[in-house]
Chains A and B, each alone.
Chain A
């Protein structure tokens, strides 16, 4: 007791260290024991097969989730808990194959070339942008004052509709994207998410959710043209850092996103060729953190969008 009075912090800290240590180690030991006893079913789910390039999935009208038919297992090298998307090896699709040519991989027989035209500001008056921090950057620094933005940092494909991010005019409350979409109809919806999702799930689980979002958007906004945008690449330096944020992973997802386009109501836009350097990554000068365009370069994206308008008869 006298010692405790002399150094209470030392003793309390030591005790809490012990408790913490036990708390941290016991689950590990249990998990290890469980694994040894063969209870590892949860690992199997992650080995779902996903289609390769030649997959033809028709998305005209109603998109029915991810209608995935049997393709080759492209080396879904899932280890441990299998949650890290970057462990899924590539199936040889490099982004440049897809860049700017959204539908080249699409074997849909009813497919036709999209007729992109140059448009002016008024075109975006009935446009809605949905996305993560990159779209927030577009909102803040593009000067597209006519368009609406349902964008928020950290937004993912898994929680787009549930995110309470849309401010209600004349009130402090915010409503979810789904509620907002029920209240107002748009002519065009631009959608870009994907960078935050790279650390969770597989390309398949991502695409399943992505296709689901597109389907739900069509349900809620039957008259809108939907522009699915390629995930913007990161700098090659950032990509090489060795975590799950990397360009091969981005390109792989973009390739799959491109296949959602039917060029009637769903279009694929890919700004990456405009902002990439020779190494296939985001130009280093355009960014500080390797992920976000600096505000002054947002105009490249804006210009790209303005040159890729779709006019309806």
Chain B
């Protein structure tokens, strides 16, 4: 198979080629074909511009009975895997018997096992490249089956509609996670207006700026620290690195979510918000109610509450929290560091619930210091996948190593001197201040003008990165 070319929102290909063409076609065709256009567009977005060719291969494989080929085809094409997931989950959904039917549980179990099995096979074996977005669409498929089982929704009869839900490109690659309950009414009827197009575009531009102007550039500093090597950084530098990464991952993910919401809006969809200024939280518990909210909601709905939630005594509540957070860690990646990250958060959330949450919520300063300390430390467990390297980093952060490698005592001040405008901007955009200022110009012409500037600035940086990645990583 040829290399799969996957589009990301923050790429010149998406912004200048795919999306303008797509949205023009989308609005030219009549409303009843827009779901199909969206589905086909999503396949192209997902690197299946050769899906006709793939379809032919598939057909010939089935006709000739060359099932080995079929097997290989599915393994090496993420798009085929996605379509297989559509087929399996559509039929499983229809197969789950009604309220009083027998074997409801076993059918659900089969469906969930298929989804989780595929996810685990790709995520936790190192032989195959991980298909982009599989973590997200798998969870959306599981929520679909579970909601049918719970009687919240009826199974979808039209496979084309279900396929559009599972494959739609705005949230296919990185969320926000949606449920069929949310999307179904929008699949049958959407309202279109110029205002909505405008709002969607504005959201998209903000997302683009967050990704390109903040996250990518903060990434350069984090990259520099890794280039020096953790053994040779000073303690202040280690902390600066942790803060930088904390901001980078936030603006990166926030940017993707905003771009997804914006693209969805331009197509007539309402996708849920995913972030609500997490760094303004007063506790870890609150932080993760503001961070990647759709994933948190998923775990709450499909793991925490089915396990009994907080209604079965404190011991079981703690167990449930720990299970949810261990699973959250595992979901993010295969390494031990992710389990460590998830369990640490689970433990902190349990401790907060048992001991210091009420106290934190009353405080005004201590809670801020607490978040500034705890969250960057836990992010390092997320960022550094090699446990030995992680240990070295913690030794640096907490200054427990004296001898050994040579350290440049001015590394921190050098980095601050080079990056202070970016770091200051990052810090500012973690607070609610920009949002408040923005509301002053919101819906005015000035907002559009500002966003036009921000857009082209982002494009400029994207262009520079694309033409010459070493503009940043000059040697």
Contact = CB atoms under 8 A, between A and B. Distances in A.
Given A6-B195, A7-B197, A133 B228 contact: no
Interface in A258-300: 287-289, 291-292, 294-299
Contacts of B231: 294-296
Contacts of A288: 223, 226-227, 229
Contacts of B201: 7, 9-10, 13
Contact of A153 (B198, B455, B456, B475): B475
B473 interface: yes
A196 B226 CA distance: 20
A16 interface: yes
A143 interface: yes
B202 A9 contact: yes
A140 B197 contact: no
A143 B232 CA distance: 13
Contact of B228 (A8, A134, A196, A294): A294
B245 to A, nearest CB: 14
Contacts of B451: 9
B256 to A, nearest CB: 20
A221 to B, nearest CB: 25
B452 A9 contact: yes
B474 to A, nearest CB: 4
B222 to A, nearest CB: 11
Contact of A289 (B193, B456, B473): B473
A195 interface: yes
Contacts of A10: 194, 197-198, 201
Nearest to A290: B227
A116 interface: no
Contacts of B406: 141-143, 295-296, 298-299
B318 interface: no
Best-surrounded residue of A133, A296, A297 (most CB of chain B within 10 A): A296
A17 interface: yes
For chain A, which range describes its interface: under 10, 10 to 19, 20 to 34, or 35 or more residues? 20 to 34
B223, B406, B407, B449, most chain A CB atoms within 10 A: B406
Contact of B232 (A153, A291, A296): A296
A13 B226 contact: no
Interface in B164-209: 193-195, 197-198, 201-202, 205
B232 A294 contact: yes
Interface residues of B, number: 35
A153 B220 CA distance: 14
A13 B474 contact: no
Nearest to B459: A20
Given A9-B201, A9-B451, A195 B232 contact: no
Interface in A291-311: 291-292, 294-299
Contacts of A132: 474-475
Interface in B425-468: 445, 447-449, 451-452, 455-456, 468
A287 B227 CA distance: 7
Nearest to A193: B475
A210 B452 CA distance: 45
B271 to A, nearest CB: 19
Nearest to B474: A154
B408 interface: yes
A292 B227 contact: yes
B226 A16 contact: no
A9 B456 CA distance: 12
A292 B475 contact: yes
B198 A6 contact: yes
A291 B475 contact: yes
A142 B406 CA distance: 8
B452 A296 contact: no
Nearest to B231: A296
A13 B448 CA distance: 9
Interface string A67-92: 00000000000000000000000000
B369 interface: no
Given A140-B408, A143-B406, A295-B405, A6 B227 contact: no
Interface string B101-128: 0000000000000000000000000000
B475 A9 contact: no
Nearest to B266: A10
A8 B232 contact: no
Contacts of A6: 193-195, 198
**Which of B195, B449, B475 gathers most chain A CB within 10 Å?**
B475
Nearest to A152: B474
Contacts of B195: 6-7
A9 B197 CA distance: 9
A289 B227 contact: yes
Given A10-B197, A288-B226, A296 B475 contact: no
Nearest to B445: A8
B470 interface: yes
A12 interface: yes
A199 B470 contact: yes
A142 B205 CA distance: 45
Contacts of A13: 201, 452, 455
A233 to B, nearest CB: 13
A3 interface: yes
A143 B448 CA distance: 53
Contacts of A296: 229, 231-232, 405-406
Nearest to B226: A288
A133 B452 contact: no
Contacts of A141: 228, 232, 406, 408
B399 interface: no
A154 B474 CA distance: 5
Given A196-B470, A196-B474, A295-B408, A7 B229 contact: no
Interface of B: 16, 20, 193-195, 197-198, 201-202, 205, 223, 226-229, 231-232, 405-408, 411, 445, 447-449, 451-452, 455-456, 468, 470, 473-475
Given A140-B408, A141-B232, A287-B227, 18 more contacts: A8-B448, A9-B202, A12-B448, A12-B449, A13-B452, A133-B474, A141-B406, A141-B408, A153-B474, A196-B474, A199-B470, A288-B223, A288-B226, A295-B228, A295-B406, A295-B407, A296-B229, A296-B232
Enumerate the 5 nearest inter-chain pairs by beta-carbon distance, A residue then B residue, closest first: A294-B229, A295-B232, A154-B474, A7-B198, A8-B448
